[in-house]
Structure 1
Protein backbone atom coordinates (compact mmCIF):
# COMPACT_ATOMS: atom_id res chain seq x y z
CA UNK A 1 0.00 0.00 0.00
CA UNK A 2 1.01 3.63 -0.44
CA UNK A 3 -0.52 6.80 0.95
CA UNK A 4 -1.13 9.65 -1.53
CA UNK A 5 2.08 11.31 -2.66
CA UNK A 6 4.32 8.34 -1.80
CA UNK A 7 6.58 7.00 -4.55
CA UNK A 8 5.36 3.56 -5.57
CA UNK A 9 7.83 0.84 -6.59
CA UNK A 10 8.66 1.03 -10.28
CA UNK A 11 11.29 -0.36 -12.65
CA UNK A 12 14.17 1.23 -10.74
CA UNK A 13 12.97 -0.35 -7.50
CA UNK A 14 12.69 -3.71 -9.23
CA UNK A 15 16.21 -3.48 -10.65
CA UNK A 16 17.60 -2.59 -7.23
CA UNK A 17 15.62 -5.43 -5.64
CA UNK A 18 17.34 -7.87 -8.00
CA UNK A 19 20.72 -6.54 -6.89
CA UNK A 20 19.70 -6.74 -3.23
CA UNK A 21 18.63 -10.36 -3.71
CA UNK A 22 22.22 -11.23 -4.64
CA UNK A 23 23.66 -9.91 -1.37
CA UNK A 24 24.36 -12.36 1.46
CA UNK A 25 22.41 -10.75 4.28
CA UNK A 26 23.48 -13.46 6.70
CA UNK A 27 26.89 -11.80 6.86
CA UNK A 28 25.53 -8.24 6.58
CA UNK A 29 22.81 -8.05 9.22
CA UNK A 30 22.63 -4.25 9.67
CA UNK A 31 20.96 -2.62 6.67
CA UNK A 32 20.01 1.00 5.96
CA UNK A 33 17.62 2.11 3.25
CA UNK A 34 17.74 5.81 2.34
CA UNK A 35 14.50 7.16 0.90
CA UNK A 36 12.41 4.13 1.72
CA UNK A 37 9.10 5.22 0.14
CA UNK A 38 6.68 2.34 0.66
CA UNK A 39 9.40 0.33 2.41
CA UNK A 40 9.48 -2.35 -0.30
CA UNK A 41 13.26 -2.81 -0.34
CA UNK A 42 13.63 -2.45 3.41
CA UNK A 43 10.98 -5.11 3.96
CA UNK A 44 12.67 -7.39 1.45
CA UNK A 45 15.85 -7.19 3.53
CA UNK A 46 13.93 -7.64 6.79
CA UNK A 47 12.20 -10.74 5.43
CA UNK A 48 15.65 -12.29 4.99
CA UNK A 49 16.62 -11.73 8.59
CA UNK A 50 18.47 -8.42 8.41
CA UNK A 51 18.12 -5.71 11.03
CA UNK A 52 16.82 -2.83 8.94
CA UNK A 53 16.62 0.91 9.49
CA UNK A 54 14.76 2.96 6.88
CA UNK A 55 14.81 6.75 6.52
CA UNK A 56 12.67 9.15 4.50
CA UNK A 57 12.13 12.92 4.50
CA UNK A 58 8.44 12.43 3.72
CA UNK A 59 6.05 11.81 6.61
CA UNK A 60 3.52 10.02 4.33
CA UNK A 61 6.33 7.68 3.25
CA UNK A 62 7.33 7.01 6.85
CA UNK A 63 3.75 6.21 7.80
CA UNK A 64 3.33 4.02 4.71
CA UNK A 65 6.49 2.03 5.43
CA UNK A 66 5.46 1.54 9.06
CA UNK A 67 2.00 0.36 8.02
CA UNK A 68 3.46 -2.05 5.47
CA UNK A 69 5.85 -3.45 8.08
CA UNK A 70 2.90 -3.98 10.42
CA UNK A 71 0.85 -5.62 7.66
CA UNK A 72 3.68 -8.02 6.83
CA UNK A 73 4.60 -8.54 10.50
CA UNK A 74 8.23 -7.67 9.87
CA UNK A 75 10.50 -5.71 12.20
CA UNK A 76 11.44 -2.40 10.61
CA UNK A 77 12.72 0.80 12.21
CA UNK A 78 11.50 3.76 10.13
CA UNK A 79 12.86 7.24 10.84
CA UNK A 80 11.72 10.60 9.54
CA UNK A 81 14.24 13.16 8.37
CA UNK A 82 17.51 13.66 6.52
CA UNK A 83 19.50 10.45 6.26
CA UNK A 84 22.79 11.97 7.44
CA UNK A 85 21.25 13.57 10.53
CA UNK A 86 19.18 10.53 11.50
CA UNK A 87 22.06 8.06 11.18
CA UNK A 88 24.87 10.18 12.65
CA UNK A 89 27.32 7.96 14.54
CA UNK A 90 25.90 4.69 13.18
CA UNK A 91 27.45 2.39 10.60
CA UNK A 92 25.87 -0.32 8.52
CA UNK A 93 26.90 -3.43 6.64
CA UNK A 94 24.69 -2.62 3.66
CA UNK A 95 23.18 0.65 2.47
CA UNK A 96 20.47 0.58 -0.20
CA UNK A 97 19.28 3.72 -1.95
CA UNK A 98 17.01 4.66 -4.82
CA UNK A 99 17.60 8.42 -4.64
CA UNK A 100 15.85 11.26 -6.42
CA UNK A 101 17.67 11.49 -9.75
CA UNK A 102 15.46 13.18 -12.34
CA UNK A 103 17.09 16.34 -13.72
CA UNK A 104 14.93 19.37 -12.98
CA UNK A 105 15.14 23.10 -13.69
CA UNK A 106 16.23 25.15 -10.70
CA UNK A 107 19.08 24.63 -8.29
CA UNK A 108 17.00 24.16 -5.13
CA UNK A 109 15.57 20.76 -4.31
CA UNK A 110 11.81 20.78 -3.67
CA UNK A 111 11.14 21.34 0.06
CA UNK A 112 7.85 19.45 0.05
CA UNK A 113 5.45 17.49 -2.12
CA UNK A 114 5.69 14.28 -4.10
CA UNK A 115 8.40 15.82 -6.31
CA UNK A 116 10.94 15.27 -3.52
CA UNK A 117 10.95 11.61 -4.53
CA UNK A 118 12.36 12.33 -8.00
CA UNK A 119 13.51 15.94 -8.59
CA UNK A 120 17.27 16.28 -8.05
CA UNK A 121 18.54 19.54 -9.54
CA UNK A 122 19.77 20.45 -13.03
CA UNK A 123 22.05 17.41 -13.43
CA UNK A 124 20.01 14.99 -11.31
CA UNK A 125 22.86 14.63 -8.82
CA UNK A 126 21.61 16.75 -5.92
CA UNK A 127 21.25 13.73 -3.62
CA UNK A 128 23.55 11.28 -5.42
CA UNK A 129 26.62 13.40 -4.73
CA UNK A 130 25.72 13.66 -1.03
CA UNK A 131 25.44 9.90 -0.80
CA UNK A 132 28.78 9.38 -2.54
CA UNK A 133 30.51 11.77 -0.15
CA UNK A 134 28.75 10.41 2.93
CA UNK A 135 29.13 6.69 2.20
CA UNK A 136 32.32 6.22 4.28
CA UNK A 137 30.52 7.58 7.35
CA UNK A 138 27.62 5.18 6.83
CA UNK A 139 29.47 1.94 6.09
CA UNK A 140 31.51 -0.42 8.19
CA UNK A 141 34.76 -1.65 6.69
CA UNK A 142 33.82 -4.18 4.04
CA UNK A 143 30.31 -2.75 3.86
CA UNK A 144 28.43 -2.37 0.59
CA UNK A 145 26.44 0.46 -0.99
CA UNK A 146 23.82 -0.41 -3.61
CA UNK A 147 22.42 2.53 -5.56
CA UNK A 148 20.25 2.84 -8.65
CA UNK A 149 19.93 5.94 -10.81
CA UNK A 150 19.39 7.11 -14.36
CA UNK A 151 22.17 7.04 -16.91
CA UNK A 152 21.31 10.71 -17.52
CA UNK A 153 23.05 11.50 -14.23
CA UNK A 154 26.35 10.00 -15.35
CA UNK A 155 27.34 6.60 -13.99
CA UNK A 156 31.03 7.37 -14.56
CA UNK A 157 30.76 10.46 -12.35
CA UNK A 158 29.22 8.35 -9.59
CA UNK A 159 32.01 5.79 -9.87
CA UNK A 160 34.60 8.57 -9.78
CA UNK A 161 33.13 10.19 -6.69
CA UNK A 162 32.80 6.89 -4.85
CA UNK A 163 36.40 6.05 -5.72
CA UNK A 164 37.54 9.43 -4.41
CA UNK A 165 35.68 8.67 -1.17
CA UNK A 166 37.64 5.44 -0.74
CA UNK A 167 35.22 2.87 -2.15
CA UNK A 168 35.69 0.41 -4.97
CA UNK A 169 32.69 0.74 -7.27
CA UNK A 170 31.31 -0.78 -10.43
CA UNK A 171 28.12 -0.89 -12.47
CA UNK A 172 26.59 -4.30 -11.87
CA UNK A 173 23.28 -4.04 -13.75
CA UNK A 174 21.57 -1.93 -16.38
CA UNK A 175 18.11 -1.77 -17.87
CA UNK A 176 16.32 0.32 -20.48
CA UNK A 177 12.84 1.53 -19.59
CA UNK A 178 10.35 3.77 -21.41
CA UNK A 179 10.24 7.40 -20.39
CA UNK A 180 7.65 8.13 -17.76
CA UNK A 181 5.36 11.18 -17.53
CA UNK A 182 7.90 13.33 -15.65
CA UNK A 183 10.60 12.98 -18.29
CA UNK A 184 8.09 13.42 -21.11
CA UNK A 185 6.87 16.67 -19.55
CA UNK A 186 10.46 18.00 -19.56
CA UNK A 187 11.50 16.83 -23.02
CA UNK A 188 12.24 20.29 -24.44
CA UNK A 189 14.28 21.31 -21.39
CA UNK A 190 16.21 18.02 -21.29
CA UNK A 191 17.09 18.36 -24.97
CA UNK A 192 18.21 21.97 -24.42
CA UNK A 193 20.48 20.83 -21.57
CA UNK A 194 22.01 18.09 -23.71
CA UNK A 195 20.67 15.40 -21.37
CA UNK A 196 18.48 13.74 -23.96
CA UNK A 197 18.57 13.28 -27.71
CA UNK A 198 15.74 14.48 -29.90
CA UNK A 199 12.80 12.04 -29.90
CA UNK A 200 14.47 9.86 -27.27
CA UNK A 201 11.97 7.52 -25.62
CA UNK A 202 14.05 5.15 -23.49
CA UNK A 203 15.97 5.77 -20.27
CA UNK A 204 18.91 3.69 -19.09
CA UNK A 205 18.96 2.72 -15.43
CA UNK A 206 22.16 1.62 -13.70
CA UNK A 207 22.83 -0.18 -10.45
CA UNK A 208 26.12 0.68 -8.80
CA UNK A 209 27.69 -1.54 -6.16
CA UNK A 210 30.43 0.01 -4.05
CA UNK A 211 32.45 -1.57 -1.26
CA UNK A 212 34.18 0.32 1.53
CA UNK A 213 37.59 -1.29 2.02
Structure 2
Protein backbone atom coordinates (compact mmCIF):
# COMPACT_ATOMS: atom_id res chain seq x y z
CA UNK A 1 0.00 0.00 0.00
CA UNK A 2 1.45 3.35 -1.03
CA UNK A 3 1.06 5.88 1.79
CA UNK A 4 1.82 9.55 2.27
CA UNK A 5 4.46 9.70 5.02
CA UNK A 6 5.78 13.13 6.01
CA UNK A 7 9.21 13.27 7.71
CA UNK A 8 8.97 12.17 11.32
CA UNK A 9 6.02 9.80 10.83
CA UNK A 10 6.52 6.12 11.66
CA UNK A 11 6.66 3.99 8.54
CA UNK A 12 4.95 0.63 8.18
CA UNK A 13 7.32 -1.99 9.60
CA UNK A 14 7.21 -5.58 10.82
CA UNK A 15 5.10 -4.79 13.89
CA UNK A 16 2.43 -3.12 11.74
CA UNK A 17 2.53 -6.05 9.31
CA UNK A 18 2.17 -8.61 12.12
CA UNK A 19 -0.85 -6.82 13.56
CA UNK A 20 -2.33 -6.56 10.08
CA UNK A 21 -1.86 -10.32 9.57
CA UNK A 22 -3.68 -11.00 12.84
CA UNK A 23 -6.54 -8.74 11.74
CA UNK A 24 -6.90 -10.64 8.45
CA UNK A 25 -6.81 -14.03 10.15
CA UNK A 26 -9.04 -13.04 13.05
CA UNK A 27 -11.76 -11.36 10.98
CA UNK A 28 -14.59 -9.90 13.08
CA UNK A 29 -14.13 -6.43 11.62
CA UNK A 30 -17.17 -6.04 9.36
CA UNK A 31 -19.79 -3.72 10.82
CA UNK A 32 -17.63 -2.78 13.80
CA UNK A 33 -16.45 0.58 15.11
CA UNK A 34 -12.65 0.89 15.11
CA UNK A 35 -10.29 3.10 17.10
CA UNK A 36 -6.68 3.28 15.89
CA UNK A 37 -4.52 4.74 18.68
CA UNK A 38 -1.13 6.11 17.63
CA UNK A 39 -2.23 5.85 14.03
CA UNK A 40 0.93 7.09 12.30
CA UNK A 41 0.26 6.85 8.56
CA UNK A 42 -3.17 5.35 9.26
CA UNK A 43 -2.27 2.04 7.59
CA UNK A 44 -3.96 -0.25 10.12
CA UNK A 45 -7.18 1.71 10.27
CA UNK A 46 -7.39 1.84 6.49
CA UNK A 47 -7.13 -1.95 6.34
CA UNK A 48 -10.00 -2.36 8.82
CA UNK A 49 -12.19 -0.08 6.73
CA UNK A 50 -11.35 -2.15 3.66
CA UNK A 51 -12.43 -5.20 5.66
CA UNK A 52 -15.84 -3.67 6.26
CA UNK A 53 -15.52 -1.62 9.45
CA UNK A 54 -18.57 0.57 10.04
CA UNK A 55 -16.56 3.54 11.31
CA UNK A 56 -12.92 4.51 11.87
CA UNK A 57 -11.47 6.94 14.37
CA UNK A 58 -7.72 7.58 14.41
CA UNK A 59 -5.73 9.36 17.13
CA UNK A 60 -2.12 10.48 17.28
CA UNK A 61 -0.21 13.00 19.37
CA UNK A 62 2.00 14.01 16.44
CA UNK A 63 0.60 16.71 14.18
CA UNK A 64 2.42 15.20 11.20
CA UNK A 65 0.91 11.78 11.91
CA UNK A 66 -2.55 13.31 12.19
CA UNK A 67 -2.00 14.92 8.80
CA UNK A 68 -0.73 11.65 7.31
CA UNK A 69 -3.67 9.63 8.67
CA UNK A 70 -6.14 12.20 7.39
CA UNK A 71 -4.57 12.43 3.93
CA UNK A 72 -4.18 8.68 3.47
CA UNK A 73 -7.76 7.98 4.49
CA UNK A 74 -9.17 10.75 2.29
CA UNK A 75 -7.11 9.65 -0.72
CA UNK A 76 -8.88 6.28 -0.42
CA UNK A 77 -12.32 7.75 0.10
CA UNK A 78 -12.47 6.66 3.73
CA UNK A 79 -14.46 9.02 6.01
CA UNK A 80 -12.20 8.54 9.02
CA UNK A 81 -12.41 10.85 12.01
CA UNK A 82 -8.81 11.86 12.74
CA UNK A 83 -8.03 13.49 16.08
CA UNK A 84 -4.91 14.87 17.73
CA UNK A 85 -4.45 14.01 21.37
CA UNK A 86 -3.02 11.81 24.09
CA UNK A 87 -4.10 8.16 23.80
CA UNK A 88 -7.80 7.76 24.66
CA UNK A 89 -8.46 11.29 25.95
CA UNK A 90 -9.91 12.71 22.69
CA UNK A 91 -12.68 10.08 22.51
CA UNK A 92 -13.76 9.73 26.15
CA UNK A 93 -16.37 8.51 27.08
CA UNK A 94 -17.02 6.73 23.75
CA UNK A 95 -16.49 3.00 23.37
CA UNK A 96 -15.36 1.03 20.31
CA UNK A 97 -15.70 -2.56 19.12
CA UNK A 98 -12.05 -2.83 18.09
CA UNK A 99 -9.14 -0.81 19.49
CA UNK A 100 -5.77 -1.06 17.72
CA UNK A 101 -2.48 0.00 19.32
CA UNK A 102 1.08 -0.10 17.99
CA UNK A 103 2.76 2.19 20.53
CA UNK A 104 6.44 3.02 21.05
CA UNK A 105 8.03 0.20 23.09
CA UNK A 106 11.83 0.36 22.69
CA UNK A 107 13.74 0.83 25.98
CA UNK A 108 15.70 4.08 26.00
CA UNK A 109 18.09 5.89 28.32
CA UNK A 110 15.77 8.82 28.91
CA UNK A 111 12.31 10.20 28.16
CA UNK A 112 11.14 10.32 24.54
CA UNK A 113 12.33 13.39 22.63
CA UNK A 114 9.55 15.82 21.73
CA UNK A 115 10.64 16.79 18.23
CA UNK A 116 12.73 13.93 16.86
CA UNK A 117 11.93 10.75 14.96
CA UNK A 118 12.91 8.69 18.01
CA UNK A 119 9.63 9.62 19.67
CA UNK A 120 8.07 6.99 17.35
CA UNK A 121 9.86 4.16 19.19
CA UNK A 122 11.49 5.39 22.42
CA UNK A 123 9.38 4.50 25.47
CA UNK A 124 11.39 5.17 28.61
CA UNK A 125 13.91 2.99 30.47
CA UNK A 126 11.80 -0.20 30.36
CA UNK A 127 9.91 0.47 27.13
CA UNK A 128 6.61 0.63 28.98
CA UNK A 129 5.89 4.36 29.08
CA UNK A 130 2.82 4.06 26.87
CA UNK A 131 2.15 0.34 27.24
CA UNK A 132 1.25 0.71 30.92
CA UNK A 133 -1.08 3.61 30.19
CA UNK A 134 -2.81 1.70 27.41
CA UNK A 135 -3.28 -1.31 29.69
CA UNK A 136 -4.76 0.90 32.41
CA UNK A 137 -7.14 2.80 30.13
CA UNK A 138 -8.20 0.29 27.47
CA UNK A 139 -11.17 -1.09 29.39
CA UNK A 140 -12.80 2.36 29.33
CA UNK A 141 -12.89 2.50 25.52
CA UNK A 142 -13.66 -1.15 24.62
CA UNK A 143 -17.33 -1.99 24.12
CA UNK A 144 -18.83 -4.85 26.13
CA UNK A 145 -18.14 -7.37 23.35
CA UNK A 146 -15.16 -5.50 21.89
CA UNK A 147 -11.42 -6.13 21.95
CA UNK A 148 -8.03 -4.47 22.14
CA UNK A 149 -5.32 -5.65 19.75
CA UNK A 150 -1.87 -4.47 20.80
CA UNK A 151 1.56 -5.22 19.35
CA UNK A 152 4.82 -4.87 21.28
CA UNK A 153 8.35 -6.19 21.56
CA UNK A 154 9.36 -8.83 24.06
CA UNK A 155 12.02 -6.37 25.21
CA UNK A 156 9.23 -4.38 26.87
CA UNK A 157 8.12 -7.32 29.06
CA UNK A 158 5.21 -9.19 27.53
CA UNK A 159 4.20 -10.65 30.92
CA UNK A 160 3.88 -7.19 32.43
CA UNK A 161 1.36 -6.32 29.71
CA UNK A 162 -0.65 -9.47 30.37
CA UNK A 163 -0.61 -8.80 34.12
CA UNK A 164 -1.61 -5.15 33.82
CA UNK A 165 -4.45 -5.91 31.44
CA UNK A 166 -5.74 -8.51 33.91
CA UNK A 167 -5.51 -6.02 36.78
CA UNK A 168 -7.58 -3.61 34.67
CA UNK A 169 -10.34 -6.23 34.47
CA UNK A 170 -9.60 -7.52 30.97
CA UNK A 171 -8.87 -11.05 29.79
CA UNK A 172 -5.66 -11.05 27.73
CA UNK A 173 -4.44 -13.63 25.24
CA UNK A 174 -1.36 -13.84 23.02
CA UNK A 175 -2.53 -14.28 19.42
CA UNK A 176 0.72 -14.20 17.45
CA UNK A 177 4.50 -14.09 17.73
CA UNK A 178 7.25 -13.32 15.23
CA UNK A 179 11.02 -13.11 15.50
CA UNK A 180 12.72 -10.45 13.39
CA UNK A 181 16.35 -9.34 13.00
CA UNK A 182 17.36 -6.17 14.81
CA UNK A 183 16.76 -3.03 12.81
CA UNK A 184 19.06 0.02 12.88
CA UNK A 185 17.73 1.31 16.23
CA UNK A 186 18.28 -1.92 18.15
CA UNK A 187 21.61 -2.60 16.47
CA UNK A 188 22.85 0.79 17.63
CA UNK A 189 21.38 0.33 21.10
CA UNK A 190 22.32 -3.33 21.60
CA UNK A 191 25.50 -2.77 23.69
CA UNK A 192 23.61 -0.60 26.18
CA UNK A 193 20.68 -3.03 26.35
CA UNK A 194 23.04 -5.96 26.90
CA UNK A 195 24.74 -4.05 29.70
CA UNK A 196 21.34 -3.65 31.35
CA UNK A 197 20.51 -7.34 30.94
CA UNK A 198 17.66 -6.69 28.49
CA UNK A 199 19.43 -8.58 25.68
CA UNK A 200 21.35 -11.83 25.71
CA UNK A 201 25.04 -11.69 24.80
CA UNK A 202 24.47 -13.20 21.35
CA UNK A 203 20.93 -12.00 20.74
CA UNK A 204 20.44 -10.44 17.30
CA UNK A 205 16.65 -10.83 16.99
CA UNK A 206 13.67 -9.48 18.88
CA UNK A 207 10.32 -11.14 19.35
CA UNK A 208 7.18 -9.24 18.47
CA UNK A 209 3.92 -10.27 20.08
CA UNK A 210 0.27 -9.41 19.42
CA UNK A 211 -1.96 -9.45 22.49
CA UNK A 212 -5.75 -9.38 22.47
CA UNK A 213 -7.73 -8.25 25.52
CA UNK A 214 -11.47 -8.46 26.14
CA UNK A 215 -13.85 -7.81 28.99
CA UNK A 216 -14.26 -10.83 31.26
TM-score band w.r.t. shorter chain: over 0.9
- Contact persistence 1:109–1:126 (CA under 8 A): no
TM-score, normalised to structure 2's length? 0.94
Residue 141 of structure 1 and its aligned partner are, at CA, apart by 1.1
> Which of 130, 134, 137 is the aligned partner of 1:131?
134
| Partner residue in 1 for 2:80 | 76
Give the corresponding residue for 1:10.
13
1:55 paired to 2:59: yes
- Asked if the contact 1:46–1:75 (Cα under 8 Å) also holds between the matched residues in 2, the reply is no
Say which SS state the counterpart of residue 114 (structure 2) adopts. Answer: coil
Q: Note the residue ranges of structure 2 that are not aligned, 5 or more in a row.
A: none
**Residue 35 of structure 2 is aligned to residue 32 of structure 1:** yes
1:100–1:124 Cα contact (<8 Å) kept: yes
Residue number in structure 2 paired with 1:66: 70
Aligned length: 211
- 2:124 pairs with 1:116: no
SS of the counterpart of 2:88?
helix
Pair 1:196-2:195 in alignment: no
Residue in 1 that maps onto 2:215: 212
C-alpha contact (below 8 Å) 1:36/1:55 kept by paired residues = yes
Distance 2:153 2:107 in 1: 10
Gaps (5+ residues) in structure 1?
Answer: none
Counterpart of 2:156 in structure 1 is 153
